[in-house]
């Protein structure tokens, strides 16, 4: 007799359903649920997956270092860093250039993510309000 295991996607909140048989071993049930979740995750864009991973790891970074790290991550995603003296992508004289699409904006990445008070406001806005909440 089939049974359903239901998991929630951490990115979009959709329910991911896995049909399993009651006679299956727990490891086979877990494998099916894992595979169904992986299939669901493939419906998300690479950017969505990457943002989720960054958010998961950001809580492990000391709060005073977070704005600089977030800025550096997004800068590396949105532009190119080159050494103007050579074709090398690494070196002391690196120069950052935003890719063409990201040059048009109301604020620079540094302005939006570089201010500690703005970052704290962003963090508090994503909280659910319950001081005992472990998820936010």
Q: What is the pLDDT of residue 40?
A: 94
Instruction: Determine if the pTM surpasses 0.75.
Output: no
b/e map 12-36, b = 16+ CB within 10 Å = eeeebebebeeeeeeeebeebbeeb
Q: Residue 129 and residue 19: Cα distance in Å, rounded?
A: 36
Tens of pLDDT along the chain (136 residues)? 679 999 999 888 999 999 999 999 999 999 999 999 999 999 988 878 888 887 787 778 888 888 888 777 777 766 666 665 654 444 455 666 666 555 555 666 566 666 677 767 766 666 666 666 665 5
Q: What is the pLDDT of residue 97?
A: 67
Question: Structural domain boundaries of the chain?
Answer: 2-41, 46-125
């Amino acid at each position: 007799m089939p049974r359903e295991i239901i998991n929630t996607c951490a990115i979009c909140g959709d329910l991911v359903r896995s049909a399993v048989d009651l006679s299956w071993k727990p490891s086979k049930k877990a494998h099916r649920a894992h595979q169904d979740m992986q299939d669901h995750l493939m419906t998300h864009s690479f950017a969505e997956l990457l943002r989720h991973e960054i958010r998961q790891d950001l809580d492990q970074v000391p709060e005073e270092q977070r704005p600089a790290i977030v800025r550096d991550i997004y800068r590396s995603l949105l532009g190119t860093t080159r050494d103007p003296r050579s074709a090398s992508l690494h070196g002391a004289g690196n120069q950052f250039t935003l890719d063409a699409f990201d040059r048009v904006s109301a604020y620079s990445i540094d302005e939006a993510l570089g201010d500690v008070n703005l970052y704290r406001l962003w963090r508090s806005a994503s909280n659910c309000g319950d001081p005992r909440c472990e998820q936010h």
